Amino acid sequence: MRQVRSLIETTSRCLYCQNTFSERPGWNWVFSFHKQEPLCQRCRDMFVRIEGDVCRDCGRPSEESAETDTCQDCRQWQTDSFWESNSFQHRALYAYNDFMKDVIKTLKYTGDVALVDLFAEDLRKLVDKHVRHTVAIPIPITKKRAFERGFNQAEQLGRAFTLTHALERVDSGEQQSKRTRKERIDALDGAFQVTSTLDPSQLNNQSVVIIDDVYTTGATLRAAAKPLLEAGAARVFAVTVARS
Ligand SMILES: [Zn+2]
Ligand SMILES: [Zn+2]
């Protein structure tokens, strides 16, 4: 029996921290091909899934004293006449904690395929739970970044979708980090446009999904959603791996 068990028990290297760990498969191993667990228990525990009540629009976990179904940030966005009359929603899989910051950084700079695998299917499931979409669009990166990295992480994260490359970046050439929050939001407005090769009827009255790695202020995703809504999309649903 011991021999059988040691045959079944496998030692894996954690995809994230690189430590080795052993796992003893459950009953499903007997019936299906054994799919190796990519992460050790310690790393698995650090992923904090966003669950429970969230802001209707941006998906921020609700504070107990919340009196309305949208958060203050979203009410602020709605003072803008465009956002008052257009439908934008966002949901994320995980909280953007220090661990997640590291994971996203690794994802951005290495494009680790196994790491992408951890999220790609779940992003699709999250979308399916909320919207019957017709078009799925990855948030494009600047040409300069694409050249440096050779890939776009949003595209990789969207690989459980049939992707339409409907957006392109209007490169302003300036460094984001040197600006204040207000300046960044203003500069982002107009940072994206619908590609000239897209047939506009593809967006008309459609529910559109946009995919990115992280939601921070929402400014980037709204800037990307705007030209799609202006081009006739009925609503934009954004999905990310993590939100702050
Ligand atoms: Zn680990
Ligand atoms: Zn909100």
| pLDDT tens sequence across 173-215 | 555 566 676 777 777 888 999 999 999 899 999 999 999 999 9
Which pLDDT tens digit goes with each residue over 77-110? 999 999 999 999 999 999 999 999 999 998 888 8
Compute the distance from residue 70 Cα to the ligand 2 centre, in Å.
Answer: 5
DSSP annotation of 61 = B
Q: Ligand 1 mean position to 100 CA, how many Å?
A: 13
* pLDDT score of 32: 45
Which pLDDT band holds residue 3 (cuts at 50, 70, 90)?
A: low
Taking residues 48-67, what's their average pLDDT?
84
Query: Residue 31: what pLDDT?
Result: 47
- Residues 6+ positions from 59 with CB-CB distance below 8 Å: 50, 89, 90, 91, 92, 215, 243
Q: In what order do the strands lie in the sheet with 87-95?
A: 87-95, 235-243, 207-215, 135-138
Nearest in space to 42 (alpha carbons), one of 6, 68, 16, 67: 16
pLDDT exceeds cutoff 80 at 232: yes
Q: Which residue has the higher pLDDT, 125 or 36?
A: 125
CA of 170 to the centre of ligand 1 (A): 39
Looking at residue 148, its pLDDT comes to: 86
Could you give the CA distance from residue 41 to residue 19 in angstroms, rounded to a whole number? 11
Cβ atoms of 222 and 194 within 8 Å: the answer is: no
Average pLDDT rounded to a whole number, residues 36-41: 83
The number of the ligand nearest the C-alpha atom of 42 reads 1
Give the Å distance between the CA of 88 and the centre of ligand 2.
Answer: 10
- Is residue 206 within 8 A of residue 236, CB to CB? The reply is no
Instruction: Return residues with CB closer than 5 A to ligand 1 (ion).
Output: 14, 16-17, 40, 43
Q: Are 24 and 41 in contact (CB under 8 A)?
A: no
For residue 72, give the ligand nearest its CA.
2
Residue 73 CA to ligand 2 centre (angstroms) = 6
Q: How far apart are CA 234 and CA 229, in angstroms?
A: 7
Predicted local distance difference test score (pLDDT) of residue 5? 52
Q: Region 135-143: what's the mean pLDDT? A: 93
C-alpha 204 to ligand 1 mean position (Å): 45
- Which ligand has the nearest atom to the CA of 92? 2
Angle CA(217)–CA(223)–CA(228) in degrees, nearest 5?
A: 135
Judged by its nearest atom, the ligand closest to the C-alpha of residue 57 is 2
Distance from the CA of 226 to the center of ligand 2, in angstroms? 17
User: Could you tell me which residue, 133 or 34, shows the higher pLDDT?
Assistant: 133
Cα distances (Å, whole numbers) of residue 16 to 30, 35, 47, 185: 27, 17, 12, 33
Domains of the chain: 2-44 (no CATH), 49-243 (3.40.50)
DSSP 36: P
User: Residue 39 C-alpha to ligand 1 middle, in angstroms?
Assistant: 5
* Helices and strands of the chain, counted as H and E runs: 11, 8
Q: Where are the beta strands (DSSP E) in the chain?
A: 10-13, 20-23, 87-95, 135-138, 167-169, 192-194, 207-215, 235-243
Q: How many CA atoms lie within 13 A of 48 on its CB side?
A: 11
pLDDT score for 117: 86
Identify the nearest ligand to the CA of 45 by its number: 1
DSSP 137: E
Distance 34 CA to ligand 2 centre (A): 40
What pLDDT was estimated at residue 133?
86
Ligand lying nearest the CA atom of residue 21: 1
